[in-house]
Amino acid sequence: MTGADYKLALAALFTTITLISSGCHSGDPQAATKNTGASAPAAKSVRVVPATERSIARTVTAPGTLAADEQASLSFKVPGRLSTLSVDLGSFVRKGQMIAQLETKEYTGRLNQAEAGLQQARVRLGLPPQGDDDSVATENTSLVRQARAVLDEARLNHERAVRLVREGVQPQAELDRTDSALKVADSKYQDAVEEVRNRQGILVQRRSEVALARQQLAETTLYAPFDGAVRERKAAIGEYFIAGAPVATIVRLHPLRLRIEVPEREAQGVRIGLPARVTVEGDPSVYSGRVARLSPAFEEQSRTLIIEAEVDNQQGRLRPGSFAKAELQTSTSQGVVTVPAAALVTFAGIQKVFTVKDGKSLERPVVVGRREADWVEIAEGLKAGELVVVSPGNLMTGQPVNVER
């Protein structure tokens, strides 16, 4: 390409750029409107209601796990072979109901043997074989009465011998003999008293053996200590059990115990006796309860207060081990601003309502507090009496609106 041709090409390019630039900056207002602008949004009919003040209860909600108020692992105090088992997993039991029983033949024999020994001990003390009164006067027993009679005779013989020796009728040897006989009779009397006391001790021992044998026989039967249900069965008929081996585990189903942890900042109004509303996952019902126990101190690591609530379960619909939530009403707030739940809009995590100003909608970011089915608490961003749009839908801020009357 020659120098002249190069100059001609540059001139043609410059001309083309100039024409394009002049076309883009055309002064035609209609063309500009078509290319860059859109028509203004149309007015929308809306319904408005005023934000209202109301008194609402301040609540604390915390999760927890339901547990049985009481749980007992039942076992026999005596060894033996299981002969009867009247419950199984899930069986409902009443306090005092028989759970299981061991074979009783051996323990019945022990009781009969102990009772025979008791009767023998009573007879040796001069008491009738049957009876509950084991009291006896030592001096009234035949053994002591006999020894007492011998002692009295020996004392009279000794006194007579002393008189006769003084009178010279009998020799001194006779006095010595009666003196020895008196000492022997006195010793035998003391032995008789000690023997009676020993027999009284044996009688007390036999009475204790009977009570022990009767108690062991009674303990071959296992009873429910409270109303509840069988959580676990650990026995089979014919199995031999040592003392203390578990047979079954039962739990009390009413009331249940709910253990929850409440943060320190929300625990100020919690007190014993405070009512609780308890809900369980998968169950739409609300169960009543009350705060029964409070920890005396906060947990240092989590800064929470441990609370135990008793939950009513008379119908038996709740089960220990279920995950639950408790709502505790700690106080009542006055003058809380609320709006209908349908007035609240949530977009990208931002909560807002729409108000009307000068015939146009105005978006108002708000901070939401407690929620109910048909209303929402507005903690910040709105005052009582201000009109808010109900069900704003796709309403945009600045859009003209017609308020329905």
pLDDT tens for 172-206 read 888 899 999 999 999 999 999 999 999 999 999 99
Q: What is the CATH number of the domain that holds 354?
A: 2.40.30.170
In terms of domains, do 318 and 203 share one?
Answer: no
- Inside any domain, residue 376: yes
311 C-beta neighbours (distance < 10 Å), count: 24
The whole-chain average pLDDT of the chain stands at: 85
* pLDDT at 24 (0 to 100): 39
**Does residue 292 lie within any of the structural domains?**
yes
Confidence of residue 236 (pLDDT cuts 50, 70, 90): very high
pLDDT value of position 41: 64
pLDDT at 107 over 90: yes
Residues 275 and 362 in one domain: yes
Q: Which residue has the higher pLDDT, 207 or 60?
A: 207
Cα torsion for 234, 237, 241, 247, to the nearest 10°?
Answer: 30
Same domain, 391 and 303: yes
The neighbouring-strand residues paired with 311 are 256, 289
Whether residue 5 is contained in a domain is answered as no
Predicted structure pTM score: 0.59
> Which CATH number do you get for residue 243?
2.40.50.100
Confidence of residue 332 (pLDDT cuts 50, 70, 90): low
Parallel, antiparallel, or unpaired for β 401-403 and 44-50? parallel
Residue 324: band (very low, low, confident or very high) from pLDDT cuts 50, 70, 90: very high
CA pair distance 274, 260, nearest whole angstrom = 14
Residue 25 inside a domain? The answer is no
315 & 236 share domain: no
In the chain, the N- to C-terminal Cα span, in Å, equals 81
Instruction: Report if residue 348 sits inside a domain.
Output: yes
Report residue 169's pLDDT band, with 50, 70 and 90 as the boundaries: confident
Higher-pLDDT residue of 240, 2: 240
Neighbours of 185 (CB within 10 A): 20
Whether residues 119 and 258 share a domain: the answer is no
- pLDDT tens per residue across span 259-274: 999 888 878 778 888 8
Do 348 and 294 share a domain, yes or no? yes
Same domain, 137 and 242: no
Q: Is residue 182 part of a domain?
A: yes
> Is 2 part of any domain?
no
Mark whether 244 and 327 lie in a shared domain: no
pLDDT at 10: 40
pLDDT for 136 equals 87
Banded model confidence at residue 394, pLDDT cuts 50, 70, 90:
confident
Tokens of 42: 């149309």
Alpha carbons 357 and 401: distance in angstroms, whole number: 9
Tokens of 94: 């009443």
Instruction: Give the structural domain span for 125.
Output: 104-219
Give yes or no: residues 363 and 393 share one domain: yes
Q: Which residues contact 24 (CB under 8 A, 6 or more apart)?
A: none
Say if 38 falls within a structural domain: no
Provide the pLDDT for residue 393.
Answer: 86
Are 276 and 365 members of one domain? Answer: yes
Per-residue DSSP letter, 19: H
The two tokens of residue 47 are: 């319904």
| Cα–Cα distance, 159 to 180 (Å, whole number) | 13
Residue 22: the pLDDT is 42
Which of 207, 235, 251 is the last residue in one of the domains?
A: 251
Q: What is the structure's pLDDT at 264?
A: 85
Q: How many domains does the chain have?
A: 3
- Ramachandran assignment for 282, one of left (phi > 0), alpha (psi -120 to 50 degrees), beta (any other): left
Tokens representing 108 are 């019945």
Per-residue pLDDT tens digits for 351-377: 999 999 888 899 999 998 877 778 888
Shared domain for 206 and 232, answered yes or no, is no
Residue whose token pair is 């109303």? 227
Pick the most confident of 15-29, 70-84, 251-265, 308-322: 70-84
CA distance 259 to 374: 31
Same domain for 91 and 136?
no
Share of the chain above pLDDT 70, in %: 88
